[in-house]
């Protein structure tokens, strides 16, 4: 089983970037080492019933101590780039002072990546908010946006030299809505008002940080990463079409529209006014400043039917389709469709697929991991990106999620997304079939 692209695919050209991605809380462990402060995810993990099996991030992949081995592994996979995130609680103390040890960790890591000739794609915020900020209201408090700018100032000033691309945020939808509205991620609150206000403050923080990042790191690209779902109506009934539109407005347009068009979706003003945040004059101009790229994370599609109370409800696809181990439908055609639709709906900046991948029930047998479903998934989705490029979407890169199995948030360690298998007893990494197949695709370019 292989991953292959048409011979003349633009994705095989030297200017297309292939990479692997991770995030700080999911791999680093060492969450009390060298002055790292508590994050909302440490607190959430310590709250009974929030994370499967009571798993936490105290060890994760122990990347904080094994980063040198991991840089070798990344390089061995033959990728052009590595996408990582920085843990805010490692970098700064409560008074806004730099934590030198935290800075030293990322400095040595970034230098080692650059020494291998790898491009570095760094996300400032992949969900690990310092707990002391949550104690003052977290993202529901507008002040947090200004604290983020201070953190962005420090990170980009100290580390900008070794960073090719900065993303302010990973998936504001998850950070705000899963965290403050659905309550399934940290900090675990359940109010639509909080969720949407948190989202607005995250977007505001993004906009406020843009000029600061550009000033400190003038040679880097700057953008933001959104997760996007392709939503289908469960049937051709008008009410189900409406349900899908509402869902799409809440999950996708609520985030991309203010960034690219400077306003929140008009549809929501009419049908879900309590799902719109309080916006101060000037906020949307700050949010909609130009960005160098838009990152998109894609995993699956969903199907929605009308519900009298909630307007929409998730239902399973009525067709016979394949699901991954986390129960997400495998739908590569939805990926190209989504990209092509967005390209019609918006004036898109250059796009990067900053995450795409599958959770599979991987089993290690005789030192080998046969994850053929993941190989097929990657092949299908990489070709879906190719289809979107053929249809005119400006996509410059693709990152597989993830370099290695890691802490999968509310699912703990039960779900494995890695191209490399992690034995959590020994911390041994083993390249899976998908990792070998990805490497083979990348080396075939030369
Ligand atoms: C990404 O998020 C994360 O960036 C990454 O850290 C994570 O490990 C990876 O994906 C795999 O999960 O609306 O309640 O039905 C995933 C994006 C978007 C996936 C929302 C789940 C549905 C949750 N997510 N989606 S819900």
Q: Is 328 exposed, middle or buried (0-12, 13-18, 19+ CB in 10 A)?
A: middle
What tokens does 426 get? 């020994």
pLDDT digits (tens, 9 = 90+) for 293-340: 999 999 999 999 999 999 999 999 999 999 999 999 999 999 999 999
What CA–CA distances, in Å, run from 200 to 168, 204, 255, 287? 14, 6, 9, 9
Q: How far apart are CA 264 and CA 258, in angstroms?
A: 5
State which H helix or E strand residue 140 sits in.
none
What's the whole-number average pLDDT of the chain? Answer: 98
Q: Do 91 and 151 form a contact (C-beta atoms < 8 A)?
A: yes
Confirm or reject CATH 3.30.160.100 for domain 10-444, answering yes or no.
no
Tell me how far the alpha carbon of residue 40 lies from the centroid of ligand 1, in angstroms. 17
Catalogue the active-site residues: 171, 355
Q: CA of 431: how far to CAs of 116, 224, 271, in Å?
A: 19, 30, 49
Q: Is the pLDDT of residue 107 over 90?
A: yes
- pLDDT band of residue 41 (cuts 50, 70, 90) is very high
Task: For helices 372-390 and 332-345, give the axis angle rounded to 10 degrees.
Answer: 30
- Residues that constitute the known binding site: 26, 126, 170, 299, 401, 408-409
Chain segment 155-183, per-residue pLDDT in tens: 999 999 999 999 999 999 999 999 999 99
> Among all chains, which residue has been given the structure tokens 């990344």?
74
Nearest to 302 by CA among 388, 228, 225, 357: 228
Nearest CA among 348, 166, 165 for reference residue 257? 348
**Shortest CA distance to 195 belongs to which of 125, 276, 267?**
276
The two tokens of residue 353 are 């697929």
Rounded to whole angstroms, how far apart are CA atoms 49 and 1? 40
What angle separates helix 100-115 from helix 63-76, to the nearest 10 degrees?
10
**97 C-alpha to ligand 1 centroid (Å):** 32
- Summarize the annotated binding site for substrate as residue ranges: 26, 126, 170, 299, 401, 408-409
> Among candidates 320, 311, 206, 292, which has minimal Cα distance to 251?
311
Give residue 289's pLDDT.
98
Task: Return the structure tokens found at 218.
Answer: 């003038």
Residue-level pLDDT at 446: 76
Q: What is the pLDDT of residues 241-290, one digit of tens each?
A: 999 999 999 999 999 999 999 999 999 999 999 999 999 999 999 999 99
Q: What is the pLDDT of residues 138-162, one digit of tens each?
A: 999 999 999 999 999 999 999 999 9
Counting beta carbons within 10 angstroms of the beta carbon of residue 33, is it exposed (0 to 12), middle (13 to 18) or buried (19 or more)? middle
* Cβ-based neighbours of 295, under 8 Å, separated by 6 or more: 167, 170, 223, 224, 225, 226, 351, 352, 353, 354
Q: What integer is the mean pLDDT of 40-67?
A: 98
Cβ of 128 below 6 Å from ligand 1: no
pTM for this model (two decimals): 0.98
Which of the listed residues 171, 176, 329 should we mutate to test ligand 1's pocket, taking the one with most ligand atoms within 8 A of CB? 171
pLDDT at 45: 98
Show the tokens assigned to 439.
Answer: 């490497």
Residue 433 has pLDDT above 80, yes or no: yes
DSSP string computed for 3-51: ----TT-GGGSTTSEEEEE--HHHH---TTGGGPPPBHHHHHHTSTTSS
What is the end-to-end Cα distance of the chain in Å, rounded?
21
What confidence category does residue 66 fall into, taking pLDDT thresholds of 50, 70 and 90? very high
Residue 401 alpha carbon, nearest atom of ligand 1: 9
405 lines ligand 1 (CB under 6 A): no
pLDDT (mean) for 381-387: 98
Q: What is the pLDDT of residues 232-250, one digit of tens each?
A: 999 999 999 999 999 999 9
The answer to whether 106 touches 166, Cβ cutoff 8 Å, is no
Structure tokens at 217: 């790191």
- The pLDDT assigned to 428 comes to 98
**How many whole angstroms from 174 Cα to the centroid of ligand 1?**
7
Question: How many A from CA of 104 to the centre of ligand 1?
Answer: 30
Residue 184: what are its φ and ψ, rounded to 5°?
-95, -10
* Pairwise CA distance, residues 21 & 23, whole Å: 7
Q: Are 30 and 64 in contact (CB under 8 A)?
A: yes
- Give the residue from 262, 22, 275 showing the smallest Cα distance to 126: 22
Do the beta carbons of residue 41 and residue 14 sit within 8 Å? Answer: no
Name residues whose C-beta falls within 8 Å of residue 131's C-beta, 6 or more positions apart in sequence: 37, 38, 39, 40, 42, 43, 89
């Amino acid at each position: 089983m292989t991953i292959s692209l048409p011979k003349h695919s633009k994705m095989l050209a030297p200017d297309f970037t292939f990479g692997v991605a991770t995030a700080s809380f999911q791999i680093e462990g060492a969450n009390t080492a060298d002055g790292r402060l508590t994050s909302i995810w440490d607190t959430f993990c310590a709250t009974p019933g929030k994370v499967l099996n009571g798993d936490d991030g105290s060890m994760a992949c122990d990347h904080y101590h094994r980063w040198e081995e991991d840089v070798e592994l990344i390089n061995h996979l033959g990728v052009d780039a590595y996408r990582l995130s920085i843990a805010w609680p490692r970098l700064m103390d409560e008074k806004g002072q730099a934590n030198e040890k935290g800075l030293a960790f990322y400095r040595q890591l970034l230098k080692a990546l650059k020494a291998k000739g790898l491009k570095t794609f760094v996300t400032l915020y992949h969900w690990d908010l310092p707990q002391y900020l949550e104690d003052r209201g977290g993202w529901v408090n507008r002040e947090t946006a200004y604290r983020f700018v201070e953190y962005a100032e420090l990170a980009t000033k100290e580390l900008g030299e070794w960073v090719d691309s900065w993303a302010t945020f990973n998936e504001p939808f998850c950070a705000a809505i899963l965290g403050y509205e659905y309550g399934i991620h940290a900090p675990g609150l359940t109010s639509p008002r909080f969720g949407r206000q948190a989202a607005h403050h995250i977007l505001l923080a993004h906009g406020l940080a843009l000029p600061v990042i550009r000033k400190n790191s003038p040679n880097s690209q700057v953008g933001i990463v959104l997760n996007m779902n392709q939503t289908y109506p469960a049937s051709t009934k008008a009410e189900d079409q409406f349900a899908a539109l509402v869902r799409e407005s809440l999950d996708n347009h609520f985030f991309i529209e203010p960034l690219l068009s400077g306003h929140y979706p008009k549809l929501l003003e009419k049908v879900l006014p309590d799902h719109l945040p309080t916006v101060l004059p000037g906020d949307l101009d700050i949010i909609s400043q130009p960005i160098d790229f838009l990152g998109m994370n894609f995993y699956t599609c969903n199907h929605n039917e009308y519900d009298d109370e909630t307007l929409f409800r998730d239902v399973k696809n009525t067709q016979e389709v394949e699901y991954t181990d986390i129960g997400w439908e495998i739908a590569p055609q939805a990926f190209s469709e989504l990209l092509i639709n967005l390209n019609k709906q918006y004036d898109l900046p250059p796009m990067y697929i900053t995450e795409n991948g599958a959770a599979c029930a991987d089993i290690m047998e005789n030192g080998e991991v046969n994850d053929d479903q993941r190989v097929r998934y990657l092949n299908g989705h990489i070709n879906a990106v190719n289809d979107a490029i053929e249809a005119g979407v400006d996509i410059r890169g693709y990152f597989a999620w993830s370099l290695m199995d890691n802490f999968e948030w509310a699912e703990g360690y039960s779900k494995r997304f890695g191209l490399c298998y992690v034995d959590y007893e020994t911390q041994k990494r083993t390249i899976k079939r998908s990792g070998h197949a990805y490497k083979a695709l990348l080396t075939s370019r030369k």
